[in-house]
């Protein structure tokens, strides 16, 4: 995804929905984030974590993992 591409409603999902999409537990996503593994995520503010649907699809396809989380 190009960073200049505008987001549309539904592009970003919370960790509960991301876990359901991946068939994983929320704690697994948290462990991956802590270790710098797993799908890319976005941190919004200090606590809000969101995943982009295309990043989840790329992770499932084996094309992408966490490269920057800020």
Domain count, the chain: 1
Q: Quick check: is 70 in a domain? A: no
Residues of the chain with pLDDT under 70: 1-5, 7, 9, 64-70
Q: Quick check: is 44 in a domain? A: yes
Q: Quick check: is 17 in a domain? A: yes
CB-based contact 23:56 (threshold 8 Å): no
Domain that holds residue 29: 12-61
Which pTM does this prediction carry?
0.78
pLDDT value at residue 63: 78
How do residues 7-25 score in pLDDT, each as one tens digit? 676 799 999 999 999 999 9
Q: For residue 45, what are its two tokens?
A: 């503010």
Strand partners, 18: none
CB-based contact 17:42 (threshold 8 Å): no
Q: Quick check: is 68 in a domain? A: no
How far is it, in rounded angstroms, from Cα 42 to Cα 22?
17
Q: How many helices (H) and strands (E) does the chain have?
A: 3, 3
């Amino acid at each position: 995804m190009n960073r200049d591409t505008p987001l549309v409603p539904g592009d970003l999902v919370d960790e509960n929905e991301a876990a359901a999409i991946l068939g994983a537990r929320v704690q697994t996503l948290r462990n991956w984030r802590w270790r710098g593994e797993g799908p890319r995520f976005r941190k919004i503010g200090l606590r809000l974590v969101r995943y982009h649907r295309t990043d989840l699809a790329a992770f499932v396809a084996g094309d992408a993992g966490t490269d920057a989380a800020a």
